A and B are shown apart, each in its own frame.
Chain A
Amino acid sequence: MKSYSKTTPYLFIGPALILLALFSLFPIVVALVISFTDIDLAGLADYSNISFIGIENYLNIFKDPIFLKSIGNTIFYVVFGVPLVIACSLGIALLINFGTARIFKAFRLVFYMPSITNVVAVAVVWTYLYNPQFGLFNYLLGLVGIPAIPWLQDPTIAKGSLIALAVWRAIGVNMIIFLAALQGIPKTYYEAAQLDGANNWKQLTKITIPLLRYAIFFVSITTMIGWIQFFEEPFVMTKGGPLDSTTSVALFIYRNGFQLSNFGYAAAGSFVLFIAIIIITMIQFRLQKKETDF
């Protein structure tokens, strides 16, 4: 039985689909087209100023030292950030899941809190904490006799400082995902293992971690995509400095697009980023498939 008219469903999906098409799908085409042009502010004012320059943007961008540096920085963020996020959120989830007292439920709240807060506000607060003169961190280090650390002034340490902030924000959501997965593991597995005399460590490595494989896979993919697009923290805290040592690819694109108005060039950069994300995701799916084969 069908009592609604043929157009009804389209009226329901219409508003959402039109907006998605206009602001998500169509822009992909636009980005691809303008990445082969030299569009800038002059081009924006008058389209006759735009000329088609082929793959020149793509050739130039790979010769751009700042772009290459931003790729290196982004790889640094991914290599250190992803394992840290997984280790911290999984560790906390395991501890919370292990606890039986009521207080352990409250810990969920505490660890989740950073992930809902505004990134600008948080970056402002952390900039203050990191301040070499008046910051809390250096003061606390001073109490135990450790000399002041240039948290945001040293090129390498600055990257680490940004990672610390981003890990702090990322724990919450991933911890909840791990907790949901942990609660899905049947208790009987552990009871059987205990009867066989398996200790906690054995239970963790032989039951819990293997059964969490899918959750770990999911978290590692989403976390990695998130780190590849790392943007707000360096944007608010360091503006990419010192000496572009914290500039991520996403920040590079933003800067070229909206501060230097090289729209075509920035679009080319964004496509390089897009392709990198697709390739990395595909590789991860391959690896995952191989792992589940045996």
Chain B
Amino acid sequence: MKTKVSDAKKAYRTQQWIAGIVLTLGGLLVAIPFIWMILSAFKPESEVLQLTPTLWPETFTAENFVYLFENMNFGVYLKNTIIVVLCSFVGLFFNAMAGYAFAKYKFKGRDKLFYLVLATMMIPGQVTMIPVYLILNQMGLTNTMAGVVLPGLVGAFSIFLFRQFMSTIPDELLEAARLDGASEFRVFMQLILPISKPIMAVQGILTFIAGWNSFLWPLIIANDESLYTLSVGLSLLKGQYGGNFALQMAGSTFMVVPIVIIFIIFQKHIIEGYTISGMK
């Protein structure tokens, strides 16, 4: 009996090891593009074009990054991307407001309007792409920052998550604040938003990532290079400097690494956020 138990334990330990090894190999495979990107970004162009590639840069150089900012307009792209990100936080605030109203107010047509909001999640982007362009064109917003930002400002899924979270806030808390004479907007700003920190954290990070990565609307709306975001600039770079891989990798690194750093810092919130929203 005793040997049987220890046999089972041994088998279990081996299985654990096998699982670990398989995941390590898979993880390495998944990480290769990142590793290769970052290492290539610091190689001079001539080294990248060698027929036997080097793993570690033989000559370590930052000239690719300097080139991006001096000879291409990456400074402008970066500024535009940051504007897009900041605007998308305004959108996040609108989502939170709407989510709060759907969770905590009773008003005529509430459920119908909420279903309408949910229904917009089903609409594929390709269907709205062309009419939204025509609408923005009619409003005279093509080739403006407002045109780049507006279409993606609010999102149904985000409103839904805010509503789910905020409906767990007890009504008594709101009543107490109202009795103290706080206006509705103050209740929202000073009571609801602080309580909603966990969902705000998740949504904030996801909003940042989405804004930083935004590609389609800047691509469609911006004709002027002065309105390009980083991702549009990068696709332009790919077209103009097709053969210069070191430069392309530097551009990609510049886009990917900030997100990876932010992700690693806040990963707990993101992964737990999925669990929060997945449970409901």
Contacts and interface: CB of A to CB of B under 8 A. Distances in A.
A17 interface: yes
A257 B133 contact: yes
B123 A99 contact: no
- Sorting the interface of chain B by its residue count into under 10, 10 to 19, 20 to 34 or 35 or more gives 35 or more
B249 A134 contact: no
B264 A4 contact: no
B23 A92 contact: yes
B16 A101 contact: yes
B268 to A, nearest CB: 10
A77 to B, nearest CB: 15
A246 to B, nearest CB: 16
Interface string B209-226: 100110110001000000
A2 B132 CA distance: 39
A107 B25 CA distance: 11
Contact of A229 (B37, B48, B125): B125
A64 B178 CA distance: 63
B198 to A, nearest CB: 16
B23 A104 contact: yes
B170 to A, nearest CB: 14
A120 B122 CA distance: 25
Contacts of A139: 52-53
B36 interface: yes
A17 B113 contact: yes
A117 B256 contact: yes
16 contacts: A8-B105, A10-B101, A19-B150, A23-B150, A28-B123, A30-B134, A34-B134, A116-B260, A116-B263, A121-B256, A125-B36, A125-B248, A139-B53, A168-B30, A173-B274, A274-B126
Interface of A: 1-4, 6, 8-10, 12-13, 15-17, 19-20, 22-28, 30-31, 34, 39, 44, 92, 95-96, 98-101, 103-104, 107-114, 116-122, 124-129, 131, 133-134, 136, 139, 168, 171, 173, 176-177, 180-181, 183, 200, 225, 228-229, 231-232, 236, 249-250, 253-254, 257-258, 263, 266-267, 270-271, 273-274, 277-278
